[in-house]
Amino acid sequence: MSSNTSVVAKPRIMIIYTGGTIGMIEDAKTGALVPFTFDHLIQNVPKIGRLGFELSHYEFNPPVDSSNMNPALWKTIAEVIAAHYDQVDGYVILHGTDTMAYTASALSFMLEGLAKPVILTGSQLPIGEIREDGTENVITALQIAAERIEQGLRAGQPMVQEVAISFGRHLWRGCRSTKESSTDFGAFRSFNYPSLADMDLHITYHQDFLRRAEQDKPLTLQTDMSETVGIISVYPGLTQAVLARQLETPGMQGFVLRTFGAGNAPTASWFTDTIADAVKSGKVLVNITQCPAGGVEQERYATGDALADAGVITGLDMTCEAALTKMMSLFGRGLDAARVAELMPQSLVGELSD
C-alpha cells in the first residue's frame, strides 16, 4: 500500500555516528579499513546539505567496528536519544552491519514509549570509495526519519514511530531484523515480518505494518542490560560435557537455546535431563529455531515436546538477536525468573507474532 506522506518544513534530525564500514577509509600503509571521523563522512556526502534538514550529531570517539558493540555502548546511544528527545524529530544511527540487528533489537527494548523514528543504517562499502552503497543508505535513512503522516487522525505524526533498519531497498522493524548477507547491498531481512517500507523510485510505506505509539507518552529508558544471559546452539555431536559446562557457567540466569527446525532438539535422556536440571535450578531457557524463517512450535514433534516437558519456554518466531536482548532487558529490570519466563513469549514491542 502506498500512502500520502509529507516532510515537515525543516525537520530536525540527529545523526548518531557509531562507526562501521560506512565511515571507514583505507589505511595507506596496510590497505586495511580503519574508521574515520564524522566530519570526513559528511564531507564525502555533500548531498546531505541539499536535504535542507536541521542536522545535529553525536559521534563515538573513537568510532567502533560493530563487532565491538556491547550493552554499555547501547546504553550510551539510548541516553543520547533521550537527552535530545524534545529537540529532534528523528534519529539516524550510522552503525556497522555486523551487529546492527542486535543494537536495533536492544534499543527497541531500551526505549520504552518511543514515538519518534530511530533509523539504523550503514553500508557494505565505505562512503569514500568510488562505488559504494553508503551515500544512498544515509540519504534514504534521513528522508525516512523526516517523513510525516499526511492524512487521517495521525496527520503530522512521524511516519515511523519505532526502531527500524533502513538498508538497500527496504525498511525493516529493528527487533525483527537479521543480517543475512555479508556481500549483498540488501544485507538485512526480516524473515517473519513484512517490510515497513520499500525503496525504489519512491519510498512506499506500509502503514498497516508500522507500529503506532501513544504520542503523549514520555520516553522512558530501560538501559540496564543483564550480561548473565547467553546463547547455546544445539548441533549433531553436542556432548553432555559441553552442554552442562555452558549451562553451569556461574552466575548465568538464562539462555537462548538455538534448536533445529520447529524447535526440536535431541531426545536422549542425558540431553533432556541436563536441560531440565538447568530449569529446576532457576534458569530461564528460551527455544529459538536456527532457521531464519518460521518459528518454534514445541508441540509439533516429540523432539520439541521433550523440551517443553523439561521446562523450556517457547520463543515463537523471535530472532535470536531479539530473544537475547529481550532477556537481557527483562533480567536487567530486576525481574525474577518466573516473570521473565512469562514475558518471553509475549510481544512487548512487536518482536514476535502472537
Give 74-88 as a DSSP string. Answer: HHHHHHHHHHTTTT-
Contact (Cβ atoms closer than 8 angstroms) between residue 346 and residue 314: no
Neighbours of 59 (CB within 10 A): 17
Compute the least distance from the CB of residue 63 to ligand ASP, in Å: 9
Minimum CB distance to ligand ASP, residue 181 (Å) = 10
Q: Vertex 79, ends 23 and 344: CA angle to 5°?
A: 100
Peptide bond into 345 cis (omega under 30): no
Rounded to a whole number of angstroms, the minimum distance from the CB of residue 315 to ligand ASP is 25
Binds ligand ASP (CB under 6 A): choice among 89, 98, 132, 147 = 98
**Span from 44-52, 93-101, 153-161, 336-344 in contact with ligand ASP (CB under 6 A):** 93-101
Instruction: Considering the complex, state which of residue 97 and residue 287 has its C-beta at the smaller distance from ligand ASP.
Output: 97
User: What is the rounded CA–CA span in Å between residue 13 and residue 60?
Assistant: 17
Of the candidate residues 3, 44, 66, 140, the single one contacting ligand ASP (CB under 6 A): 66
User: Is-catalytic flag, 272?
Assistant: no
Grid cell listed for 187: 544485507
For residues 127 and 313, which CB has a smaller minimum distance to ligand ASP in the complex? 127
User: Does the footprint of ligand ASP cover residue 121 (CB under 6 A)?
Assistant: no
3-state secondary structure of 178: strand
| Residue number, 134 or 254, with CB nearest to ligand ASP | 134
As a whole number of angstroms, the distance between CA 277 and CA 253 comes to 13
By CB under 6 A, residue 20 contacts ligand ASP: yes
In the complex, minimum distance from the CB of residue 146 to ligand ASP, in angstroms, rounded to a whole number: 24
Stretch that binds ligand ASP, among 49-57, 92-100, 295-303, 343-351 (CB under 6 A): 92-100
Beta strands, E only, the chain:
5-7, 12-17, 24-26, 33-35, 54-59, 90-94, 111-112, 118-121, 147-149, 163-167, 170-173, 178-179, 188-189, 197-199, 203-205, 220-221, 229-233, 254-259, 284-289, 313-314
Q: Of residues 18, 21, 121, 178, which has the active-site annotation?
A: 21
Q: Does 67 bind ligand ASP (CB under 6 A)?
A: yes
> Which is nearer to ligand ASP, 125 or 308 (by Cβ)?
125
Q: Which is nearer to ligand ASP, 21 or 274 (CB)?
A: 21
Per-position DSSP letters for 16-29, written without gaps between them: EE--SGGGEEE-TT
| Grid coordinates belonging to 211 | 507500529
User: Which one of 54, 65, 112, 136 is in contact with ligand ASP (CB under 6 A)?
Assistant: 65
- The identity of residue 180, as a single letter, is E
> Based on CB atoms, which residue is closest to ligand ASP, 173 or 179?
179
Please give the residues from 263 up to 302 whose contact with ligand ASP meets the rule CB under 6 A: none
Q: Give the CB-nearest residue to ligand ASP.
A: 96
126 touching ligand ASP, by CB under 6 A: no
Nearest residue (CB) to ligand ASP, 106 versus 313? 106
Interface with ligand ASP, residue 97, by CB under 6 A: yes
Q: Is 168 in the site for ligand ASP (CB under 6 A)?
A: no
Name which of 127, 214, 114, 209 is nearest 171 in CA terms.
209
What is the three-class DSSP state of 276?
helix
Question: 115-153 burial by CB neighbour count: b if 16+ within 10 A, else e?
Answer: bbbbbbbbbbbbbbbeebbbbbbbbbbbbbbbbbbeeee
**Least Å from the CB of residue 198 to ligand ASP:** 22
Query: Known catalytic residues?
Result: 21
Binding site for ligand ASP (CB under 6 A): 19-21, 65-67, 96-98, 122, 124
